Amino acid sequence: MTITKEINIFEKVNKEEVYKKLVEIFGKENVSSKSVDLYPYSYDMTECAPNMPDFIVIPENKEQLVELVKYCNENIIPIVPYISGNNVGGLTIPERGGIIVDFGKKMNKILYINENMMYALLEPGVTFGQLKKHLDENYPHLRYNYPFAPPYAGVVGNAILSGMNNLSCKIGSMGDSINGLEVITVDGDITRIGSCFYGKDEADPDSWWSRYPMPDLMGLFVNWQGMTGLITKCAVQLWPKKSIRKFEALVIFNLEDVGEICREIGRTEVIDDIALGSIEIVKMCCGIPEPKRFPEEPRMMSISTITAHTENQYKAKKEIYLNIIEKIKQEGIRVYSIDFDEFVKLFNLRLRSLVDLPAMVLSLFEYSGLTWFGSYAPSHKIEELSKKVDKLFKKYNIPLYLYMKSMKYSHYSIFRPIIRFDKFKDEERIHKLLEEITDTCLELGCIPYKTPAWMTEKMRNQINPGWLNLFEKIKKCMDPNGIFNPGRWNT
Amino acid sequence: MVEVDKTLMGKEYLEMAFERCIKCSTCKYGYKTFEPSCPSGEKFLFESFWASGKIRTIRGVLNGDLEWSDDLKDAIFACPTCGACMDACQAPHADYIVDMIEALRELAVKHIGPAQNQEKLIERAIKKFNPYDEPNSDNEELKKKYNLPDKAEWVYFIGCTSNYRQQSLRDATLNFLKRANINFTLIDEHCCTSPMIRTGQISISKEFMNYNIEKIKETGAVKVITSCAGCYRTFKNDFKKFGVDYDFKLYHTCELLKELIEKGRLKFKSNYNKTVTYHDPCHLGRHSGIYEIPRDVYKQIPGIDFVEMRRNRNHAWCCGAGGGVKIGYPDWSIEISQERLEEAKETGASIVSSTCPFCRTNLSDANEKFKMGFEILDLIEIIDQLEWTLKF
């Protein structure tokens, strides 16, 4: 696990003075240094090492944050952004202490929906559940792309960390659908990135329609885990909601066939999303907490989403989908199509949570801990990855929890072994397993996302020096005093 | 894993805090409605005030990461234990979240005491058998007034709030039972101890429970009815936890009303031409699973225009009185009710009705303080205003 550096962050100014300043900026009721209030922010669901923050602040507007950033930069006090703390990577654990900026409580407004160019302008604290409710009630013809995550995960956090979603086969990661950002950089300047960059005053809400074609400064913030500035607004693309949305399920009997099936279905260009999960996940969702594997039973199940404007369009898409399944079968691959709706009715209606996102997927929330190796993976390595990771789960006597996706019509894949565990009994053992999974997957070229610091440490050994030098130079330039979420990516 | 003091009533729930909850935040809002549902979190905002934060506080105090001090009190006691978090959470521990909070309070009381003024609840109950500091009523006068026998088939367990603060509700219940020719009596009650259990002050609970059971037994009653959702929840759920058994059948007034209507025995003879909305008491709804029974009764009242609030049934916003909040955080308690009444305003109702004297108290206080202009009535008070007959 990551060993945090012991540093005194109150060298330049004492803690009492910092508290006074924070109260001055945010108001007394929005600042806390009580241990009971700090404690829930000191660790997350993963096995990442805990650390207490010194303060929590709840901002209401960017002006407060400009003042905070200037003050913290002057006095070298860490700032850690927080939305709901639901990430599976220790990303909001304040490794060097400092101030947690909790965006989730007041900076959580949906500022604007542009129906014409289909985007939503959001404050950082907006959650998936909140956005879905807002769209369903006010813009029922529009939808967002939701992840396999609880309803109260943050939309902006997921987008700027390139999370998955239920349109991934079509559009790729959430990071690909960001139109624009408003950020506060270390000197307290407010910067707008994307097509909203024109104008000296506040941006016109109708101006957040594209990320390109100017130099792409968004790359200075996307996937940086809050290390380069504070994001205060984000515009994300919305999508037309089609009237027909159906699910096709497949059971797959051999793990080594999963890669090909995933790639072939993805390439048909007729599905919005394909998610593949080990059969153990399906059993867990049916209410079996620790499922056993039986000989001859299928190994994986896939669920593909087909959407259409008309019945004819749906039929055409389904025909293409079924043709590819037939072709796969003819190659001798053992798969069976099943009617997902009937399957759900037969086994457990809660299985609907796998497709009716955002939802709480029961299997993920069984215990007190959850961790993963969430990664972007080269599609041609899926077979090898699956087999090796399966062996590791077996070695540790843990039911296989493997989740995959085909991204952007199979240009690449998502490969996610997930581990549910008892945080207070089994943390050390689980960490060992996750380390072994990490080593195996890094060796096969996977790139983890929402990465904890102990994992980036391993990655650094494999990344080329040129990339690392540039990365360090940019970080130094963007945050010379290292106040923004220090410790991430071992900075 | 830490060792939990075996003498604690809530030991198993404290242990559960280590086994469950990844803090996914699903407890924060109504599941799939995505509506705010937690009065405590919505008010105080920091994670420690939401259900998952309280579970972390349990872990922190037990594993030594958090030291006991008065600083912990608000995060532990500023919560009406309405159970909206239980309904929202989808994890296996969902049904036990309020039990976990109450167990944390039991532990906190041992180390730092309850929140300000909550200690009065138990001090008063020890002296006067009720938490309102009122001279104990042995209910003999009421028995005389209503000509009630010593032995009867039913006992009407009035409850402290109805007996000392909401007497119109009590009297409406007495009138109804009398007019319905129910063979009932009253006992010299001790508090059911709901307010003490909710605030972690449980030292007298078992003794009071046993006392009440003995008194009920003396009457020979086989059925007990109460008009208080808090007493009902305590008899139904908490007695068992304290190892106190009983063999009578427990009714809330709405259950008897529904039964009489369903059997065709209760026939309304007059109209109630008003628009009424129903506030689900947490103790009857989320804690006891009774949502439709009162609604079925309202809907049978001739002339009534029954309308629902946006957040209803398991998603209902709490009135803010429970969990010791009314005495511990009185101003905030009324703010919570104010939010409920604002929601009632959207329905166009002139009557906000409930089936709990404690909800009635707090909604009435907010109604008065913020000049909301509603009439706040219990279901049984509405019934009492009507003409009806009972077929035998």
Strands, E assignment, chain B: 154-157, 184-185, 223-226, 249-252, 266-268, 275-278, 305-307, 351-354, 375-378, 388-390
Q: Which amino acid is at B199?
A: T
Mean local confidence (pLDDT), A259-285: 95
Answer whether residue A262 shows pLDDT above 80: yes
Q: CB B91 to CB A36 under 8 A?
A: no
Dist. CA B116–CA A160, nearest whole Å: 44
Answer whether residue A363 shows pLDDT above 90: no
Residue A180 pairs with which residues in a beta bridge? A194, A235
- Ordered DSSP codes for B73-138: HHHHHS-----HHHHH--STTGGGHHHHHHHHHHHHHHHT-SSTTTHHHHHHHHHHSSTT-PPPP-
Q: CB A368 to CB B53 under 8 A?
A: no
pLDDT of residue A347: 87
Three-class secondary structure of residue B251 per DSSP:
strand
Dist. CA B258–CA B275, nearest whole Å: 20
Span of A176-190, A336-350, B300-314 with lowest mean pLDDT: A336-350
Mean local confidence (pLDDT), B148-169: 98
pLDDT of residue A287: 86
Mean local confidence (pLDDT), B238-249: 97
Give pTM, 2 decimals.
0.96
Mean local confidence (pLDDT), B242-263: 97
Answer whether residue A1 shows pLDDT above 80: no
Instruction: Name the residue in chain A with its Cα closest to that of B1.
Output: A424
Percent of the residues in chain B that have a pLDDT greater than 90, as a whole number? 98
Q: CB B26 to CB A150 under 8 A?
A: yes
**Chain A residues within 8 A of B24 when measuring between CB atoms:** 45, 86, 150, 152, 360, 364-365
Instruction: Name the residue in chain A with its Cα closest to that of B93.
Output: A366
Which tokens go with B231? 């007493």
pLDDT digits (tens, 9 = 90+) for A19-37: 999 999 999 999 999 999 9
Mean local confidence (pLDDT), A482-491: 95
pLDDT of residue A6: 54
pLDDT of residue B16: 97
Q: What mean pLDDT, rounded, does chain A reach?
A: 95
Which tokens go with B213? 């059971």
Q: In the structure, what pLDDT confidence band is assigned to residue A96 with cuts at 50, 70 and 90?
A: very high
Mean local confidence (pLDDT), B213-221: 98
Instruction: Name the residue in chain B with its Cα closest to that of A56.
Output: B46
Candidates B31, B45, B48; nearest CB to A39: B48
pLDDT of residue A4: 46
Which tokens go with A374? 């969430």
- Best residue in A368, A371, A423, A425 for a mutation probing chain B (most B CBs within 10 Å): A368
A389 in Cβ contact with A437 (< 8 Å): yes
Mean local confidence (pLDDT), A240-256: 96
Which tokens go with B68? 């006991």
Q: Find all residues with CB under 8 Å of B86, minimum gap 6, and list them.
A: B51, B94, B95, B96, B97, B98, B286
Dist. CA A138–CA A113, nearest whole Å: 10
pLDDT of residue A350: 84
Q: CB A368 to CB B18 under 8 A?
A: yes
ipTM, two decimals: 0.95
Answer whether residue A223 shows pLDDT above 90: yes
Query: By the CB < 8 Å criterion, does A41 face chain B?
Result: yes
Mean local confidence (pLDDT), A345-364: 86
> What DSSP designation does B191 have?
P
Query: By the CB < 8 Å criterion, does A32 face chain B?
Result: yes
Dist. CA B228–CA B230, nearest whole Å: 5
pLDDT of residue A129: 95
Which tokens go with A161? 């960390």
Query: By the CB < 8 Å criterion, does A352 face chain B?
Result: no
| Closest listed residue to residue A193, CA positions, set A209, A174, A177, A217 | A217
Q: What mean pLDDT, rounded, does chain B reach?
A: 97
Mean local confidence (pLDDT), A104-121: 98
What H or E segment, with its residue span, contains residue B218?
helix B205-219
